[in-house]
Structure 1
């Protein structure tokens, strides 16, 4: 008995939907660990020891591995197939989560978090590559990316609330055990429903460039963290910045002359691609940096419990979800670039409204600002991602997704390192938090300006 056209259409829709579900779980578990871990920072510090610098490393080492390896992970998916690579990333992330849950010391926890970052680096670009493959139609792809981002937003939203509750009832180790069932479900969905992409066997790996990239990003983050404790004029801090600059220059030189670079600099000749990559970096510095700072502010300055801290973040994270869903429709009506710029300016307005915070500031005085920050971010991410993917040919979608997410995660590394250095001394925490808000506002306005360069009507 032959399958009817209607049955084929139903099967195609089911395959696409369940592929989207698997990809969304992959992105969601990556985002979940951002808010869940930040909520647990104070509890981790009390249980394992260490001050703000050690807690910065618990967060930062994850994003360093994520940012530095994501380009190679995207290229790996292009070479051997995005499905195989995505499943390997999910397995690594799940095993690393178990190691985090069992970690007896800060050093082992930091090492396991680095392994988690490797898994995250593999998951994100290959999930986008598989979505790009499953949804060839631009409008369908835009809606799928919006759903993919919304799933991550749900994870961001649930992270503080669920994490705070788990910490209060079971303890901080439970926040990593949560990833295990998510990982198993994502692996099954991908294995059963996702279609493999066409491998490019001649795609080589730029191991020299990869090594330099890890060194440059790690050195820069370590230098910024050390600057917050030892002072920006310290000789070791100055030397760290010099070494970081040299490594960045060497990386760009290497990528310019490599036969198959991990970062194809030629992509940046495309104006839309460059705009979206830069905007992604500028937006992530304030968002993830402020999550780190505000988590410590609620617990160490205003004496909130982890569960109360989770509740405090809930409105911000909840605002991201409906904004994600609205973004695709808004982009179709007004154009992607004005929607991205509007989202950045809304988030900047939220940061400005928080400049008056101090010890004992009422949470209700911060609520509207939190809603603005969350909705602004939720509005800009889907059109930014879809626009960047649409600016390159499908054969390079893995690398393009890797560049965008590398830029965004580099922003996360710099945000946590820089803002953490501002608030490194508890007696000057509020002043440092205000400095972080000023920098955040400046960067978000910069992202809006970057997006609008040469007008909104371009189709390049």
Structure 2
């Protein structure tokens, strides 16, 4: 199957002038960078927030996770709303909500208000994420133009992740956690100003049937419960009663949501979206890619600190080898896609990531090898990831009719967030399974689950005896992570070769 070219599927809107195209692209890129920065900045600010409010690790995790949960759960309703009222109005609403509750988080005097602000900030982010990419398909019409626009969008996501990690640390050191949480506020205010000045999306869809409120509630519940299952499972273990309750709620709400979508005249997730092979292909490849990409940000710093004994600052600098190529490659990849075809770039990106992960496996299985080998591995992975970043957004949006642009953008981002969750869960399960027999053999007896989880997180003091054996077992076991990630990204290469458009 070939993904149809966008000019054959999308009706061509009235051409936009250069100022409108520039303002719309800049607003979408700034909002993407702001959302990415808000996630990484909150992670850096967790320790000073805990010290300021006197709260423990569990509560601190919700400062980060409530934003992600809310962002994911609101995406489908946000997409339907964007199609219903137009991307410009929904983008402006999202920017206003996001900036207002960012300010509330910065000024929060109590933990409860901080958590409420982070939750509602996620709702604003969902409106921005559902509207911005969809609007690009309204102002950029040619294949080459769209690939370049989505390349810039992908680059800005990478820039946001990098700046969020780097600037928030400096801001927290000088102005405390409030400064760290505020670093992305100028970006979203600039995006809002551009949207008010000269931003164009697709026209609002005629109202027709009433808004699918039941579907919105069921979809929100299913996604929120699924995200809570992943968050709580990683913290308390997958057999805990609260974790199983979240799973049951997600399954029940999800099945009811699917049933409601088949019956509603204007469903939140139209069945036509799931029948669109090009869109489904882009979503599946994004799921595989995001799982691998997010896992790198979790397990590379963990290996640096727990296996090599480096401090957090050095571990963070090591990630620059991964991030810097990923920042510049999306714009280059979009040009390559015009010259040699989308399929070649997607397959090449996946194979580059697999090669980098193979080198990372070699570096982790023998720590006496030069540190430059790990940096080279990360740089190759980052370059491959940059080839996929914006191009997958382009493929997803180019395969959809204008009337489903907002809904499609939302559904695509839900799958991306599912990949975020799997990026923590899948390699974590691999690490624990690889660690258990090694640790038991080292100390001569089975290790309790809670101790095993602690050692897998690099907390070797959780083992009363055999600390040196725990370190050695951890070093051996964590090498399985890049091997499994390489298999996943090779599956992505096969999928891209089989399903993507030919040059």
Tell me how far apart the structure 1 counterparts of residues 27 and 19 of structure 2 sit (CA, whole Å).
Answer: 12
| 1:92–1:35 Cα change, 3 Å | same
| 1:176–1:326 Cα change, 3 Å | same
Which residue, out of 434, 443, 456, partners 2:488?
A: 443
| Residues 39, 160 of structure 1: 8 Å contact kept | yes
Which residue, out of 281, 292, 307, partners 1:286?
A: 292
The TM-score, its normalising length taken from structure 2, stands at 0.79
How far residue 50 of structure 1 moved from its aligned partner, in angstroms, is: 5.5
Tell me how far apart the structure 1 counterparts of residues 54 and 299 of structure 2 sit (CA, whole Å).
Answer: 19
The TM-score, its normalising length taken from structure 1, stands at 0.86
Tell me how far apart the structure 1 counterparts of residues 56 and 360 of structure 2 sit (CA, whole Å).
Answer: 25
How far residue 397 of structure 1 moved from its aligned partner, in angstroms, is: 1.6
Equivalent residue of 2:265, what SS?
A: coil
Equivalent residue of 1:170, what SS?
A: helix
| 1:245-287 deviation digits (Å, cap 9, x = unpaired) | 3332222222222221211122222221111011112222232
Unaligned runs of 5+ in 1: 1-10
Which residue, out of 399, 415, 423, partners 1:415?
A: 423
Is 1:186–2:162 an aligned residue pair?
no
Tell me how far apart the structure 2 counterparts of residues 71 and 58 of structure 1 sit (CA, whole Å).
Answer: 23
Is 1:113–2:121 an aligned residue pair?
no
Moved more, 108-117 or 257-266: 108-117
Which residue, out of 79, 86, 95, partners 2:91?
A: 86
| Residues 342, 500 of structure 2: 8 Å contact kept | no
| 1:14–1:233 Cα change, 3 Å | closer
- 1:18 aligns with 23
How far residue 107 of structure 1 moved from its aligned partner, in angstroms, is: 4.5
- 2:202 aligns with 197
| Residues 346, 388 of structure 2: 8 Å contact kept | yes
| 1:340-375 deviation digits (Å, cap 9, x = unpaired) | 232233223334444454999986453223222322
| 1:32-53 deviation digits (Å, cap 9, x = unpaired) | 2233333334444454455654
| 1:262–1:414 Cα change, 3 Å | farther
Equivalent residue of 1:172, what SS?
A: helix
| Residues 136, 201 of structure 2: 8 Å contact kept | no
Query: What are the residue-to-residue correspondences of 1:398-437 with 2, within 5 Å?
Result: 398-416=406-424, 425-430=453-458, 431=474, 437=482
How far residue 309 of structure 1 moved from its aligned partner, in angstroms, is: 4.9
How far residue 171 of structure 1 moved from its aligned partner, in angstroms, is: 2.4
Tell me how far apart the structure 2 counterparts of residues 112 and 415 of structure 1 sit (CA, whole Å).
Answer: 26
Tell me how far apart the structure 1 counterparts of residues 148 and 46 of structure 2 sit (CA, whole Å).
Answer: 35
| 1:434–1:123 Cα change, 3 Å | farther
Is 1:457–2:464 an aligned residue pair?
no
| Residues 286, 416 of structure 2: 8 Å contact kept | yes
Moved more, 330-339 or 20-29: 330-339
- 2:442 aligns with none
| 1:358–1:39 Cα change, 3 Å | farther
Q: Which has the larger radius of gyration?
A: 2
| Residues 215, 268 of structure 2: 8 Å contact kept | yes
Is 1:395–2:395 an aligned residue pair?
no
Which residue, out of 321, 328, 331, partners 1:322?
A: 328
| 1:58-82 deviation digits (Å, cap 9, x = unpaired) | 3332222222222221221221121
| Residues 341, 451 of structure 1: 8 Å contact kept | yes
Query: What are the residue-to-residue correspondences of 1:355-374 with 2, within 5 Å?
Result: 355=361, 357=364, 364-374=372-382
How far residue 85 of structure 1 moved from its aligned partner, in angstroms, is: 0.9
| Aligned-pair Cα RMSD in Å | 3.1
- 1:151 aligns with 156
Moved more, 80-89 or 363-372: 363-372
Tell me how far apart the structure 1 counterparts of residues 319 and 291 of structure 2 sit (CA, whole Å).
Answer: 18
Tell me how far apart the structure 2 counterparts of residues 40 and 358 of structure 1 sit (CA, whole Å).
Answer: 33
| Residues 168, 181 of structure 2: 8 Å contact kept | no
| Residues 358, 486 of structure 2: 8 Å contact kept | yes
Tell me how far apart the structure 1 counterparts of residues 351 and 116 of structure 2 sit (CA, whole Å).
Answer: 37
- 2:385 aligns with 377
- 1:312 aligns with 318
- 1:164 aligns with 169
How many residues align? The count is 447
How far residue 25 of structure 1 moved from its aligned partner, in angstroms, is: 0.7
How far residue 137 of structure 1 moved from its aligned partner, in angstroms, is: 2.3
Tell me how far apart the structure 2 counterparts of residues 192 and 368 of structure 1 sit (CA, whole Å).
Answer: 44
How far residue 164 of structure 1 moved from its aligned partner, in angstroms, is: 2.1
Tell me how far apart the structure 1 counterparts of residues 423 and 117 of structure 2 sit (CA, whole Å).
Answer: 21
Query: What are the residue-to-residue correspondences of 1:8-157 with 2, within 5 Å?
Result: 12-48=17-53, 53-104=58-109, 106-157=111-162
Moved more, 265-274 or 282-291: 282-291
Is 1:341–2:347 an aligned residue pair?
yes
| 1:412–1:298 Cα change, 3 Å | same
Equivalent residue of 2:176, what SS?
A: coil
Moved more, 16-25 or 194-203: 194-203
